Amino acid sequence: ETVMTQSPAILSVSPGERATLSCRASQSVSNNLAWYQQRPGQAPRLLIYGASTRATGIPARFSGSGSGTEFTLTISSLQSEDFAVYYCQQYSNWPPITFGGGTKVEIK
Amino acid sequence: QLQLQESGPGLVKPSETLSLTCSVSGASIKSTSYSWGWVRQPPGKGLEWIGSMHYSGSPYYNPSFRSRVNMSIDTSKNQFSLTLTSVTAADTAVYYCARRGSPVVAFFWIDPWGPGTLVTVSS
């Protein structure tokens, strides 16, 4: 099973600032990585697939990068609606599909 | 627009069977190459993939659940279902139904998701 590790667990950021979230895979997943946003009380929402392709309707302030075992999600200028939990997910070595433990982006 | 909606009991007794159904609207389960499945999230914790299946193929299950889980698809009702046997308190979670986001089997991001349903295992 491919273990996904996200860091930090909690990221405190001021509105308008840049947020950088990390995701590490225990073995190479190539670029088979997705990112999701989950707001309180809601289902996860797909942000990024293929490590760097934004899903339909996702604002350009969200960007993904990386390949192999190291990945980054960057939010260029945090808006109020961006304060949420973010999960990475690999789909290279499955089953099982595996998720990271999440990074909570909170208001500083 | 494709929409998914989970339904089923919100309370299940320990050792009994959890059964959930996902109703699909806006698309036919059998008209595409997509697969359909389930993800769960214990309260305050992260996401765990349970399994998925295509209407014409065999299911893929997370090995963590393999001995307890079964999925099925009812194309006549445009629904798919999950059963999880011998539940314990550790199975208390929000259960999401979802679709694989790509028709290509190798590309397994998840989109869209249903709103989720909380299932509590308690006597």
Q: What is the pLDDT of residues A2-43, one digit of tens each?
A: 999 999 999 999 999 999 999 999 999 999 999 999 999 999
Average pLDDT of span B39-53 = 97
Yes or no, beta carbons of B46 and A99 under 8 Å apart: yes
What pLDDT does B55 receive?
85
State whether residue A41 is helix, strand or coil: coil
Q: How close B111 comes to chain A (CA, Å)?
A: 6
In DSSP terms, A90 is beta-bridged to A33, A98
What residues 59-88 of chain A have any CB closer than 8 A to a CB of chain B?
A: 87
* Per-residue pLDDT at B31 exceeds 80: no
What pLDDT does B32 receive?
72
What pLDDT does B73 receive?
94
In whole angstroms, what is the distance from residue A18 CA to residue A79 CA?
Answer: 10
Average pLDDT of span A80-90 = 97
| B66: confidence class by pLDDT, cuts 50, 70, 90 | confident
What pLDDT does A82 receive?
97
Yes or no, beta carbons of A95 and B62 under 8 Å apart: yes
CB-based burial, A62-78: b 16+ in 10 Å, e otherwise: bbbebeebebbbebeeb
What pLDDT does B102 receive?
87
* Per-residue pLDDT at B58 exceeds 90: no
